[in-house]
Structure 1
Amino acid sequence: MNDYSPQPISYVGRFAPSPTGPLHFGSLVAALASYFDARSNKGTWLVRMEDLDPPREPPGTDALILEQLHILGLEWDGEVLYQSSRLDAYRATLERLKATGLCFSCDCTRPRIKSIGGIYDGRCRYRKLPFNSGLATRVKTDKNLYEFEDAIQGNYSQILEQDIGDFTLLRKDGLFAYQLAVVVDDADQGINHVVRGYDLLESTPRQIYLQQLLGFLTPQYAHVPVVVNEQGQKLSKQHFADSIDVQAASTVLHNAMRFLGLRPAKAQISEPPADLLAWGIDNWDIQVVPKLANIPMHAAH
């Protein structure tokens, strides 16, 4: 009789930036956390370009982000996946969900939803509007509790119907919504560990809901604090965040590592990026990442 024991599932993680601008310190922190967690677990680290909103994406920004990662020494595995090449997969998945009877068309405007507190009230659920262009497609939610154990932030849960409402899968302008695309891509790429910013924590129950509807496995999640400016705003292109200075790669990496709870020696700031990253992989412990929603930029220096 053969002694058979199942092989452990290998770690597959990812970094998935939107190419709306070059990497800033906040996006580097998210990239570094996912990189360290994957490499310290001898896993695969993929890069996916979430380029589903062309009006917000200056030409060439994707190449710039990849160049920045390369200069910093954050080398990824395999080919970069572009969401803009995946529209057929999203369309097919949307048709699957429509076939369940859980989807409906909606002509509600953002101002209307904002006026009722920002949580969609189901106004179009039973109006039976056609699935025409110019209308959004939403998925019905329910009163069940969706919860998960975040590797950094601990237990998190939502009752989607009361906390979020029925949410969008296809926008009025014909663009696929983030929640649908990310669930399809994580499943198709075999992603089983997602390490990303705290600003996406509240999206996670929606993604788990879609995963369950579609029969997909749910990854393990970990949400790192986001970097905020002096006004308490998340670093972003919208808030005029500076691009990271890749010519000072070791300094930038050293600061980002400290932000994530690692404590490299001051002298290591003069080491080559590859040596700093190797030290970070050896010393990575996701439990030392601060269990906070955000940390001011100046705290990392």
Structure 2
Amino acid sequence: MTFVTRFAPSPTGLLHRGHAFSALTAWTAAKDVGGRFVLRIEDTDFTRCRPDYEAAIVEDLSWLGLDWEAPVLRQSEHVADYDAALEQLRGMGVLYRCFRTRKEILALAGGAAHADDPADAAAFTGGALSAAEEADRLARGEAFAWRLSLKAASERLGGFGHLTWVEETADPGVHRATPERLGDMVMGRKDIGAGYVIASVIDDARQGVTHVIRGEDLIATTSIQRVLQALLGLPTPVYRHHRLLLGPDGKRYAKRDRSVTLAELRASDMTAEALKVELGFLPPLYGEGC
């Protein structure tokens, strides 16, 4: 079986050192075994994604010396597939309409709006409203999200204990799905259709991804993805969750914190080779006479 991995950025801002570390980790893993490296642009957030950010992503990755297979997969071109999967889950009876706002959910869950670990965000377990109340809210045109009912999903799948995946980096071994930690996650919304969690598992299968390589902050999300893979009949990749790159302040790099971007590093005359040395992908004496 050919080793296939991917880098899947969202064009909602410019890439920083953390993105470079993740992309280089995946690309190097593929090159080391003669495998394939694919690029996926996760641009389904039409309110925040911009073409100039996508162009900057390509420029940054090229500057790093990465190459990838053509064509690049853009999720905005496959929205119908994700909405079809959302409809399939609705037909199974494992989704329900949730009319609570994110602020209300966070207040109930005691989470933070920008929790580093998804499990610290909106771990909410609810359920469908009565038919009368739901009809009334729909008639008033209220916004809602489609949430995955873990109770209904568990009943359909015969529990979650048999859902496993192989982790090769963070706590290596066979892991069992524990989606209860994240609660009833949002799978889509009234106004934008299916969300990124559904899109991600569909595209991993579409692109033949055998190994998902990403930051350890997404370990908890794997349980929900494993449930979706079981419900939708999709294959389960091997997972490698690498360490997070931390800045001088001890916090992980993040777009929202305006971390120094790769474009800014280039503008300061930093070379790609120097950045690779800094990130541990080249030895310190690379390019120096000795």
SS of match in other structure, 1:268: coil
Match of 2:21 in 1: 29
Q: 2:160 matched to which residue of 1?
A: 144
For 1:181, the equivalent position in structure 2 comes to: 199
Does structure 1 residue 119 correspond to structure 2 residue 137? no
SS in 2 for 1:169: strand
Could you tell me whether the CA contact under 8 Å between 1:19 and 1:61 is conserved in 2?
A: yes
User: % of aligned pairs identical?
Assistant: 31
Alignment partner, residue 254 of structure 1: 277
Stretch deviating more after TM superposition (48-57 or 172-181): 172-181
The Cα offsets for residues 148-202 of structure 1, whole Å up to 9 and x where unpaired, read as: 3321102555532x31211111125425321111011111111111101112111
CA contact (8 A) 2:41 2:54 kept: yes
**Counterpart residue number, 1:234:** 252
Distance 1:49 1:215 in 2: 24
C-alpha RMSD of matched pairs (Å): 2.2
Deviations 1:60-103 (A, max 9, x none): 11011101111221010121111111101101111111111111
1:206 and 2:206 equivalent? Answer: no
Alignment of 1:166 with 2:170, yes or no, is: no
> Could you list the runs of 5+ residues in structure 1 that have no partner in the other structure?
1-8, 272-301
Cα distance between partner residues in 2 of 1:207 and 1:191:
14
- Counterparts of 2:283 and 2:146 in 1: how far apart (Å)? 52
Aligned residue identity for 2:3: Y
Alpha-carbon distance in 2 for matches of 1:212, 1:15 = 23
Q: Deviations over 1:248-296 (max 9, x none)?
A: 111011212x1xxx5x43220559xxxxxxxxxxxxxxxxxxxxxxxxx
Question: Counterparts in 2 of 1:1-301, with a 5 A limit?
Answer: 9-117=1-109, 118-122=122-126, 124-125=127-128, 127-128=130-131, 129=134, 134-141=143-150, 142=154, 144-145=160-161, 146-154=163-171, 155=173, 156-160=175-179, 162-244=180-262, 245-246=265-266, 247=269, 248-256=271-279, 258=280, 264-269=282-287
C-alpha distance in structure 2 between counterparts of 1:57 and 1:80, whole Å: 16
Q: How far apart, in 1, do the equivalents of 2:227 and 2:84 lie?
A: 18
Distance 1:218 1:103 in 2: 22
Verify the 8 A CA contact 1:233 1:239 in the aligned structure 2.
no
- State how far apart, in whole Å, the 2-side matches of 1:176 and 1:71 are: 33
TM-score by length of 1: 0.78
Which segment is superposed worse, 172-181 or 81-90? 172-181
CA distance in 1, matches of 2:288, 2:130: 64
CA contact under 8 A between 1:120 and 1:167: conserved in structure 2? yes
- Check the 8 A contact 2:145/2:190 in 1, yes or no: yes
| 1:236 CA drift (Å) | 1.8
- SS of structure 2 residue aligned to 1:19: coil
CA contact (8 A) 1:107 1:136 kept: yes
What secondary structure does 2:256 align onto? coil
Partner of residue 6, structure 1: none
Confirm or deny: 8 A CA contact 1:250 1:270 kept in the other structure: no
Q: 1:55 deviation in Å?
A: 2.4
Once the two structures are superposed, residues 232-259 of structure 1 have per-residue CA deviations (whole angstroms, 9 ceiling, x without a partner) of 4321221011112345111011212x1x
**CA distance 1:54–1:233, shift in 2 (3 Å):** farther
Structure 2 length as normaliser, TM-score?
Answer: 0.81
Shift of 1:49: 0.5
- Provide runs of 4+ in structure 1 moved above 4 Å: 130-133, 155-158
The residue type equivalent to 1:183 in the other structure is V
Question: What amino acid sits opposite 1:252 in the alignment?
Answer: L
Mark the CA change 1:267 to 1:229 in structure 2 (over 3 Å): closer, same or farther.
closer
Equivalent-residue separation in structure 1 for 2:216 and 2:2 (angstroms): 25
